[in-house]
Structures are given as C-alpha cells and as structure tokens.
C-alpha cells in the first residue's frame, strides 16, 4: 500500500527529499492528467512534473516516439555525437523558434537538467564578454547547483552553503502585488528607470555584468508574470549596453504561457535562451540556444556525459510537433484566461486570496493573512501556513497542486497543457472546497 512505500522511502532516502513531504504519494501509474497511487486512489495532477509534462502522463505520441527509437536501433546514449534522431530534434527546435532568432541561433546540448543549462549560459556569456559579474532578479529561480543557486533569489536554500559565486547582484522584479516598483503602467517605467540608473551609476556597486538572467514569468518565485512593457525596457537597456540577456524558459517554454516561448508575448528576443523541462517531452533534456556572436567557446568548454539521450530527443520532438499541429498555445491561452476569471470570482468570496495572476497555464493564487495590516500599496502579509493547509485539503480531495513563492504562500497551478475545460472545472471545484475548508 501507499503507507508501506512511503515508510520505506522515509527510511532509505535522503533528508533532502522535498515533494514527498507535502505530497505523501507513492505512484503506481499515470495517464493523461491523472496519477493513481498504490491504494488505487486517483489524483488530478496540476504539478505535472514541476511543469515538465506538457502533454500529460504517457501520452500516445510520447509512447510512440519511445517505441520508434527502440525499433530504429540508434544508440540510446551518444555523448554529443550526432544521429538522425538528434538531427530531427534540432530541426524541430529551430522550426519552433521565431524566425529571426532561429537565423542567428546556435544550440548546445547540456547536462540534462535546467540547472546545468543555466551553468552553461553563464559560462557562455562570461567567456564572450570577459566580464565576471552576473545580474539576476529577486525571487528568481534558476536551479540547485552552485552557479545556478547563486543566481537564485531565495535565501533559504543558500543560507547553509558558503562560497556561492561572487559578484552576483539581485535587482527588483516587477512583482506587482508586493513590489512598489511594479505597480501600474508608470510603475513599470519607474522600475526599469531604476534598473537603468543602477547600471549606469558607478556608485551603485554594480559593475558591467557578463549577463542578466531573467524569467519572463517567475515560476518557483510564485507564478509572477513580468509586464510586457517592462520586458521591452529590459531588452532595450541591455541591448543598448551590449549586455547579453539570458532568458530562462526552463519552466515557461514550449507553450506553457500561451505562446511557444514566453518572450514572444513581449515581442522581444533573448541573446541566450535556456530550455529544459517540457522540451524533453517527459524525459531529461536541456539545451541553450544563443546568438552565434557569443559562440566564443573553446571545444569542450561545457561538457558532460549525458548530452545525448536519444529517447528524450525523440519525445521532445514529438511534443514540439504535437503542440504545433494541435495549436496547443492557443488552447493554453484561452484556458488560462478562463481559469484566471474563475479564480478571480472565487477570490471575491475568500478573504485569504490576495492575488490571482499568471500567464497561460502557469497560474498563481497568493494566500494572505487578512487579519494583519496591509502595506502602503494595499498588499497583505503572506500566509504560508494557510497555503500549505489548502494544499493539504486539495490533496485529500484528489488534487495535486504545488505551493511556491518566496514565502511559500502561493498556490501554483501547472496542469498538463492538454487539460480540458471540463477537467479544469473539476480542479476549480476541488480547490474551492479545499480553500473553504482551510479557511475555517
Ligand atoms: N530555471 C527555472 C526557471 C526553473 O523553473 C527550474 C526548475 N524548477 C530550473 C531553472 C532548474 O531546473 P532543474 O530542476 O532541471 O535543474
């Protein structure tokens, strides 16, 4: 039963395991948007492998892709040597990019994790510019390795680890609910003007960086979308100063936000694009794509054994094809709007929901403590304990949701992109019941 598996896990696995603590689940099988535990109970999975499973669990096109690789006898692992499976994947990736970026881009296969691709991106821009400082954003998440963790704007995972990368600076992200620099249209301008003054004022402590890394929608930080005007300004100020802009689309990429890539919402392009999660179509894969002008690497500058997982390339290609052929981004955009509208109406009857936000199917509900005093811009203190209680009540009702954000106070909806409106209604109903229950 579930309990037997969980107690074995508790005995044998490390204290650093994370998800099982809040989602005590031993999974027997999974299909579509659902997983079934060892006791036969079904859950709707709105965590979807932390945003990885764009097509849900065990989608037929994913299974076919795996079977195709097995039938073809290509090597399952090929270092970074090329194969027909790999070439077909690269073709598909380039065909998915906006044309002007595709024309100038080169691809590099990384570790297979998002963090490893972030490491590669940082090494790339450091090598190309000769600069050492890196700029990142408060609340951003870029991974768990030393370099990627250095760029991650959350203190908790860092506080017992010394010797993170020096010369890493954090800038304010336009977190509209809490950040005074993020409010309203003019607020975006205030925020970007402030960033510009930090970059230009020698007294600010910022030296010219090797690069700036940003998420278009902060994921782990609490599903916080950056306003389009702010992104445009960020692009302008980095272009004018020749600072490579690294866009980390590990979580937002491949249709999640209602466009193939989230930067397309702002009509901008990165200098370096970091992709993982959904690009592997359920299996481990990560790449960086970058302006060929930055390609000043020596051979072997970023290596690693597992950069040639043919199955992941085949499932990644199948995912990209399915998304394009079935206009998944359009579906995601429409459903995202629908969920936000529904959640906003739930918000009006719930005292503890401070904010509903997101882009596409990357949605956050910020749980607040309405008994406390609001700050100067009217936002209430975060209430992480209540968010976790809501998560627990959802879990009891057969709904898996993630809690994130800097104060662990944001309920995050990250369902598979193929979820239907009817299934979402079911999700919303369970979430509503759980929130009513938790608020009591
Ligand atoms: N960047 C972003 C934006 C992410 O969301 C994540 C993972 N949540 C990472 C990087 C790190 O990816 P990985 O966990 O595969 O190392």
The tokens describing 317, both together, are 């290609």
The tokens describing 338, both together, are 């629908």
pLDDT in tens, the chain (440 residues): 999 999 999 999 999 888 988 899 999 999 999 999 999 999 999 999 999 999 999 999 999 999 999 999 999 999 999 999 999 999 999 999 999 999 999 999 999 999 999 999 999 999 999 999 999 999 999 999 999 999 999 888 888 888 788 899 999 999 989 875 766 666 777 888 888 999 999 898 888 999 999 999 999 999 999 999 999 999 999 999 999 999 999 999 999 999 999 999 999 999 999 999 999 999 999 999 999 999 999 999 999 999 989 999 999 999 999 999 999 999 999 999 999 999 999 999 999 999 999 999 999 999 999 999 998 888 999 999 999 999 999 999 999 999 999 899 999 999 999 999 999 999 999 999 999 999 88
pLDDT digits (tens, 9 = 90+) for 159-176: 888 878 889 999 999 998
Ligand 1 proximity of 113 Cβ (cutoff 6 Å): yes
* pLDDT of amino acid 180: 58
Closest CA to 288 of 49, 168, 122, 78: 122
Task: Give residue 39 CA to ligand 1 midpoint distance, Å.
Answer: 31
Domains of the chain: 2-58+327-439 (3.90.1150.10), 61-325 (3.40.640.10)
Ligand 1 proximity of 45 Cβ (cutoff 6 Å): no
**Distance, C-alpha 160 to centroid of its chain:** 24
Q: What is the ipTM of this complex?
A: 0.99
pLDDT digits (tens, 9 = 90+) for 8-60: 999 999 998 889 888 999 999 999 999 999 999 999 999 999 999 999 999 99
Closest CA to 385 of 356, 409, 353: 409
Task: Give residue 440 CA to ligand 1 midpoint distance, Å.
Answer: 35
Ligand 1 proximity of 434 Cβ (cutoff 6 Å): no
DSSP state, residue 134: E
Task: Give residue 148 CA to ligand 1 midpoint distance, Å.
Answer: 9
Task: Give residue 402 CA to ligand 1 midpoint distance, Å.
Answer: 15
Task: Give residue 348 CA to ligand 1 midpoint distance, Å.
Answer: 33
Measure the CA–CA gap between 210 and 345, rounded to whole angstroms: 44
3-state helix, strand, coil in the chain (%, to 5): 45, 15, 40
* pLDDT of amino acid 182: 65
Ligand 1 proximity of 142 Cβ (cutoff 6 Å): yes
DSSP calls for 3-41: HHHHHHHHHHS-TT--HHHHS---EEEEEBTEEEETTS-
DSSP state, residue 279: G
Mean pLDDT for the chain? Answer: 95
* pLDDT of amino acid 255: 98
CA distances from 262 to 19, 256, 440 (A): 26, 8, 38
Ligand 1 proximity of 137 Cβ (cutoff 6 Å): no
DSSP state, residue 186: H
Ligand 1 proximity of 251 Cβ (cutoff 6 Å): yes
Q: Quick check: 148 and 158 in contact, CB under 8 A?
A: no
Q: Whose CA is nearest to atom 7 of ligand 1?
A: 143
Q: Which residues, at least 6 apart from 409, have a Cβ–Cβ distance to it below 8 Å?
A: 222, 366, 367, 368, 382, 383, 384, 386, 387, 403
> What phi and psi, each to the nearest 5 degrees, are found at residue 241?
-100, 5
């Amino acid at each position: 039963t579930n309990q037997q598996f969980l107690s074995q896990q508790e005995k044998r696995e490390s204290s650093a395991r994370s998800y099982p603590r809040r989602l005590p689940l031993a999974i027997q099988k999974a299909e579509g948007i659902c997983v079934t535990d060892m006791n036969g109970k079904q859950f709707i999975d709105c965590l979807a492998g932390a945003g990885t499973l764009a097509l849900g669990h065990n989608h037929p096109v994913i299974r076919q892709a795996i079977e195709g690789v097995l039938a073809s006898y290509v090597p399952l692992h090929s270092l970074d040597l090329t194969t027909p499976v790999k070439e077909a994947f690269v073709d598909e990736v380039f065909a998915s990019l906006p044309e002007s970026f595709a024309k100038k881009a080169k691809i590099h296969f990384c570790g297979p994790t998002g963090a490893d691709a972030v490491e590669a991106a940082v090494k790339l821009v450091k090598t190309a510019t000769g600069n050492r400082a890196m700029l990142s954003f408060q609340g951003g998440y870029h991974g768990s390795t030393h370099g990627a963790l250095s760029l991650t704007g959350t203190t908790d995972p860092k506080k017992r680890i010394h010797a993170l990368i020096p010369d890493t600076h954090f800038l304010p992200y336009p977190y509209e609910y809490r950040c005074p620099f993020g409010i309203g249209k003019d607020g975006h301008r205030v925020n970007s003007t402030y960033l510009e003054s930090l970059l230009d004022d020698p007294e600010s402590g910022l030296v010219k960086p090797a690069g700036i890394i940003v998420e278009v929608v902060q994921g782990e930080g609490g599903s916080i979308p950056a306003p389009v005007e702010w992104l445009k300004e960020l692009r302008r100020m980095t272009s004018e100063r020749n600072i490579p802009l690294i866009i980390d689309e590990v979580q937002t990429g491949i249709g999640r936000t209602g466009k193939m890539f989230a930067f397309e919402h702002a009509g901008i392009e990165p200098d370096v694009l970091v992709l993982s999660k959904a690009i592997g179509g359920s299996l481990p894969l990560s790449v960086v794509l970058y302006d060929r002008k930055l390609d000043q690497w020596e051979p072997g500058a970023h290596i690693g054994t597992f950069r040639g997982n043919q199955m992941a390339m085949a499932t990644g290609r199948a995912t990209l094809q399915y998304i394009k052929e079935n206009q998944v981004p359009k579906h995601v955009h429409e459903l995202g709007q629908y969920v936000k509208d529904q959640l906003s109406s739930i918000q009006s009857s719930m005292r503890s929901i401070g904010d509903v936000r997101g882009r596409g199917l990357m949605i956050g509900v910020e749980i607040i403590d309405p008994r406390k005093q609001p700050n100067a811009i009217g936002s209430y203190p975060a209430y992480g304990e209540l968010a976790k209680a809501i998560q627990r009540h959802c879990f009891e009702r057969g709904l898996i949701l993630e809690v994130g954000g800097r104060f662990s106070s944001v309920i995050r909806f990250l369902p598979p992109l193929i979820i239907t409106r009817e299934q979402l209604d079911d999700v919303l109903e369970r979430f509503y019941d759980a929130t009513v229950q938790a608020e009591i």
